[in-house]
Amino acid sequence: MSNRKPIRRALISVYDKSGLVELGAALAESGVEILSTGSTAKTLAAAGIPVTAVEDYTGFPEMMGGRVKTLHPRIHGGILADQNNPEHLAAIAAHDIAPFDLIVINLYPFAQTIAATDDFAECIEQIDIGGPSMLRGAAKNHGSVAVISNPSQYPFLLSSIAAGGFTLQERTRLAMETFRVTAEYDAAIATWLGEQLDVDGEWKAAIFHRIASLRYGENPHQKASVYSNATSWIQPGIAQAIQLHGKEMSFNNYTDADAAVRSAYDHTEPCVAIIKHANPCGIAIGMNIAAAYAKAHACDPVSAFGGVVATNRPVSLEMATALSEVFTEVVVAPSYEEGAVEVLAKKPSIRILTLAHFVNSAVERRPISGGLLIQESDLVNAPGDDASAWTQVSGGAVSAATLADLQFAWRAVRAVKSNAILLAHDGASVGVGMGQVNRVDSARLAVSRAGARAQGAVASSDAFFPFADGLQILIDAGVSAVVQPGGSVRDEEVIAAAVAAGIVMFFTSVRHFSHA
């Protein structure tokens, strides 16, 4: 005997009507009795498919603009009846209720509505009630009922009907997928209402869908996967990048590419960021993207080997030609000019990604053992991030070129792990000190990497100098101007060192400390 349960009676009520007519025709051809609601029933009937309207079956009309149509015992009794339970079968028989074998439901587009309008009443109307109730009831009763919650499942439905129905394992899988649909739907509603009431900080929910399994994590013994946020269609990120060429992305490729893209988009001018182990080994802006890449690569060519490159402009053929001469793990850009991909793809292993649209997320989440940290993202958009709001605490008149370099250095240091010191000249980093346990070591590292280029360069520090010693290292290397947050109890000592050296120093009153 077959372990497949045949489909004899179906209820269909869908907002998304793609594939509906084809589905209805196939069900009717297989001898399935179809009940349906509202516009779904009209669509099927208009196509010549036999269908019974729900109100004709229940004897109760749709009302309240369709809010009440399927919330009826003759519907839910047919959905929830355990067809292997004699008591259930007797109960529905006593009340003239016929059981369903198949439920096909998809929901009002709530998430799309809240993304498209601020009209509160319109959003509320797009909260589906009957749909989730029927989906959940059918999913609970998957021992008797198969439930379809997405048009993408229609081919599987039709192939299963042709095979004689669904197996219990298949119905269980469909039930699981349905509960995921309703969970995601409810999470979107609860999150949105919390935002409207300005109490969204009390509760957080996020749904992620696996895109792919990765070969391994940070190390070969660690399993890893990459997931997409369920709302990524609203605000895409590196997980939504499209790969045009190269080997599969690794865990480390994703983390570095994410850092690189964010670094590039910290700047409004054409910008290239080269990232290695989550830190920049070169960031630069230029008149065009090729010039920006040349300057970024010149910062630290040794570390750029095997790095991840991101741009905030299309990759030109000129940039692609230069980049193709350097071993690079990943390049990600909004697009590529004609011929650029072909030049880069001559290297079989380089991963070439496109990310057409990117906006830095307003919120950052960081897992910790037993919980989650959530904070506003550190975006370079505070009042103190603009040079016009800075306070000059030492030095004389500042040239436009120096001020522009200080502004660039301040925006670029945001991408460096603390303690962070970044030296810059002509819109490009020339030395970066990052991730040290004290600011003195970071200053030494930045100066060491800059070498002779430190002479006349400007410097930025992501947080204040707690003592004058870190600043003195920059002064001794020939740095001409410094921008830093200020706010140390020893600010006067630090200012005095700058005054004694005759260098320019600005306080921003905002910091860009990146701990991890």
Q: Which of 196, 224, 258 is the last residue of a domain?
A: 196
Question: pLDDT at position 65, please?
Answer: 64
Look at residue 376 and tell me if it is in a domain: no
Q: At 145, which CATH number?
A: 3.40.50.1380
Question: pLDDT at position 201, please?
Answer: 82
Q: Write the burial class of residue 325 (CB in 10 Å: 0-12 exposed, 13-18 middle, 19+ buried).
A: exposed
Nearest one of 509, 515, 514 to 484, comparing CA atoms: 509
The amino acid sitting at 40 is T
End-to-end Cα spacing for the chain: 60
Dump the DSSP string for 38-67.
Answer: HHHHHHHHHTT---EEHHHHHS---BGGGT
CA distance 498 to 470: 11
Same domain as 390, residue 315: no
Same domain as 273, residue 190: no
Look at residue 36 and tell me if it is in a domain: yes
Dump the DSSP string for 319-378.
Answer: HHHHHTTS-EEEEEES-B-TTHHHHHTTSTT-EEEE-S-----SEEEEEETTEEEEEE--
HSE value, Cβ hemisphere, 13 Å, CA-based, for 392: 13
Name the band, by pLDDT with cuts 50, 70 and 90, for residue 233.
low
Name the band, by pLDDT with cuts 50, 70 and 90, for residue 1.
very low
Cβ atoms of 484 and 510 closer than 8 Å: no
- In which element (H, E) is residue 182 found? helix 168-196
Same domain as 393, residue 350: no
The amino acid sitting at 476 is D
Return the ∠ at Cα 426 (arms to 306 and 276), rounded to 5°: 15
Same domain as 290, residue 402: no
Instruction: Please give the residue range of the domain that contains residue 445.
Output: 383-507
**CA distance readout (Å), 101 to 8, 142, 176, 316:** 6, 9, 17, 58
Number of domains present in the structure of the chain? 3
Who wins on pLDDT, 450 or 73?
Answer: 450
Q: Write the burial class of residue 266 (CB in 10 Å: 0-12 exposed, 13-18 middle, 19+ buried).
A: buried
Question: pLDDT at position 259, please?
Answer: 95
Look at residue 482 and tell me if it is in a domain: yes
Question: pLDDT at position 252, please?
Answer: 95
Whether the pLDDT of residue 380 is over 70: the answer is: yes
140 belongs to the catalytic site? yes
Question: pLDDT at position 70, please?
Answer: 67
Q: The dihedral of CA 312, 313, 317, 318: what is its sign? A: negative
Q: Which of 17, 247, 277, 347 is catalytic?
A: 277
Same domain as 146, residue 187: yes
Q: The dihedral of CA 304, 331, 364, 282: what is its sign? A: positive
pLDDT 10s digits, 275-325 = 999 999 999 999 999 999 999 999 999 999 999 999 999 999 999 999 999
Nearest one of 473, 444, 478, 428 to 300, comparing CA atoms: 428
Name the band, by pLDDT with cuts 50, 70 and 90, for residue 126.
confident
Give me the residues paired with residue 104 across strands. Answer: 12, 148
Question: pLDDT at position 322, please?
Answer: 97
Look at residue 515 and tell me if it is in a domain: no
The amino acid sitting at 215 is R
Whether the pLDDT of residue 67 is over 70: the answer is: no
CA distance 41 to 29: 17
204 belongs to the catalytic site? no
Alpha helix positions (H), 225-339: 251-264, 289-299, 301-304, 317-323
Whether the pLDDT of residue 382 is over 90: the answer is: no
Length of the chain measured in residues = 516
Look at residue 401 and tell me if it is in a domain: yes
Same domain as 179, residue 61: yes
Same domain as 118, residue 264: no
Cβ atoms of 178 and 138 closer than 8 Å: yes
Q: Which of 17, 88, 140, 245 is catalytic?
A: 140
Q: What is the mean pLDDT of the chain?
A: 92
Using DSSP's 3-state secondary structure scheme, residue 104 falls into strand
What does DSSP assign to residue 419? Answer: S
Q: At 247, which CATH number?
A: 3.40.140.20
Same domain as 155, residue 34: yes
Whether the pLDDT of residue 462 is over 60: the answer is: yes
Question: pLDDT at position 234, please?
Answer: 67
Same domain as 150, residue 19: yes
Name the band, by pLDDT with cuts 50, 70 and 90, for residue 55.
confident
Same domain as 453, residue 346: no
Quick one: what percent of the chain has pLDDT higher than 90? 71
pLDDT 10s digits, 186-200 = 998 998 899 899 888
**CA distance readout (Å), 182 to 10, 72, 82, 205, 213:** 20, 20, 22, 13, 25
Same domain as 61, residue 144: yes
Question: pLDDT at position 66, please?
Answer: 62
The amino acid sitting at 287 is M
Name the band, by pLDDT with cuts 50, 70 and 90, for residue 240.
very high
Nearest one of 165, 131, 154, 178 to 24, comparing CA atoms: 154
Using DSSP's 3-state secondary structure scheme, residue 102 falls into strand
Question: pLDDT at position 359, please?
Answer: 85
Residue holding tokens 């009717």?
28
Whether the pLDDT of residue 268 is over 70: the answer is: yes
Nearest one of 245, 205, 249, 256 to 226, comparing CA atoms: 249
Look at residue 45 and tell me if it is in a domain: yes
Same domain as 175, residue 61: yes
pTM: 0.87
pLDDT 10s digits, 12-52 = 999 999 999 999 999 998 999 999 988 898 999 999 999 88
